[in-house]
Amino acid sequence: MSNLKGAGLGASALASDGAAPKGTAPSISVIIIFLNAGRFIKEAIESILAQDFSDFEILLVDDGSTDASSAIARTYVKNRPKQIFYLEHDQHQNRGMSASRNLGIRFARGSYITFCDADDTWPPKKLSQQMEVFARHPEVGMVCGAARYWRSWDNGEDEIVRCGHIQDTPINPPEACLEVYPLGKSAAAFNSLLVRREIVAKVGGFEDAFTGLYDDQAFICKVYLDAVVYFSSLVWLNYRQHAESSVSVAHGRRFYHAKRRFFLEWFKRYVSTLPMPPDPGLQAAIDRALARYQRPTAYFIGRLPRRILNRLKRIMKAHH
């Protein structure tokens, strides 16, 4: 059984036999990070194995689980030792989402890299449709699709949400960074992306400082500034909605704004270190977003007319 251990992108790591997985490299590396995901991880893995595109490997990265998910992952590795691999941090540590994704990236052999959260699933054509986009648009570095906000698994109502401000066309940098959340108004790119390996390496993978919320957006924003991206109108992710998800927990505990400020301050520093002069529009967008936290009184006063107008609209709507 392959049991790879390491401590993130750039750190030393060893497999149980002293080497990384051998054999012909697959086209795609699928990285699933998990922490106590025993309730859902089987569904996630099975949805990947059910893809109509089969040239992939799966890297299961255990972020210090204490439930049955570690054993479940190892069982899949035992049954498919040439396609599925188990990784964990040194001494089975819990190091957070970014460090865990970076560990998977270190051992990924594919020319393309993608990620699936352990509580989500994929439609069966996800990988094949994404590879078709790359074939049609060789200039594209990352593709991302729409998500099904998946509530029907728990008797709720599903909702389709398309990411990006423009679908089905290549977008040059830094346009997506300005138009798409977390700086723009369009829906954020979901964890349905597929990105070229060389782009992941060029931007340095994920930021270890982000252990939960904004870990994916920090990585994606770096890609927005470096690569041509493509937002598809096709649904490539069943995004499970439940109270235990990291986003739900962050909002429920009122961590969101602290995490957002941390991201914005980090991103401002990151942009200032780039070799090319920062786009003035990008700098202005970051400063506008930071104003809420750095100049809260001015921010509140500036938004007051809009708040009053929105309140009047709600009152008028209620009376009609």
Residues 57-85: tens digit of each pLDDT:
999 999 999 999 999 999 999 999 999 99
Which amino acid, one-letter code, is at 227? A
| Under 8 Å between Cβ of 191 and 216 | yes
Residues 229-258, mean pLDDT to the nearest whole number: 76
47: domain range?
1-119
Indicate the pairing of strand 56-62 with strand 84-89.
Answer: parallel
Query: What pTM, to 2 d.p., does this model score?
Result: 0.85
Judged by average pLDDT, the poorest of 142-156, 205-219, 306-320 is 306-320
Confidence of residue 6 (pLDDT cuts 50, 70, 90): very low
| Under 8 Å between Cβ of 218 and 211 | no
DSSP-based three-state secondary structure for 57: strand
**How far from the centroid of its chain's Cα atoms is residue 12's Cα?**
24
Which amino acid, one-letter code, is at 297? T
In a domain, 44, yes or no: yes
In a domain, 205, yes or no: no
Handedness of CA 302, 257, 222, 290 (dihedral sign): positive
**How far from the centroid of its chain's Cα atoms is residue 170's Cα?**
20
The secondary structure of residue 203, as a DSSP letter, is H
When comparing pLDDT for 240 and 19, which is higher?
A: 240
Residues 279-292, mean pLDDT to the nearest whole number: 92
Distance CA 261, CA 293 (A): 7
In a domain, 102, yes or no: yes
Q: Where are the beta strands (DSSP E) in the chain?
A: 3-6, 28-34, 56-62, 84-89, 112-115, 140-150, 159-161, 170-171, 194-196, 228-240
The tokens for 316 are 């008028």
Q: How many residues does the chain have?
A: 320
- Residue of 261, 291, 286 lying closest to 272 (CA atoms): 286
In a domain, 7, yes or no: yes
Residues 24-34, mean pLDDT to the nearest whole number: 96
Q: What is the CATH number of the domain that holds 71?
A: 3.90.550.10
Structural domain count of the chain:
1
pLDDT at residue 250 is higher than 50: no
In a domain, 89, yes or no: yes
In a domain, 28, yes or no: yes
Q: Report pLDDT for 261.
A: 94
The tokens for 4 are 């790879």
In a domain, 111, yes or no: yes
In a domain, 289, yes or no: no
Q: Report pLDDT for 279.
A: 84
Burial 213-250 (b: 16+ CB within 10 A, else e): bbbbbbbbbbbbbbbbbbbbebbbbbbbbeeebbeeeb
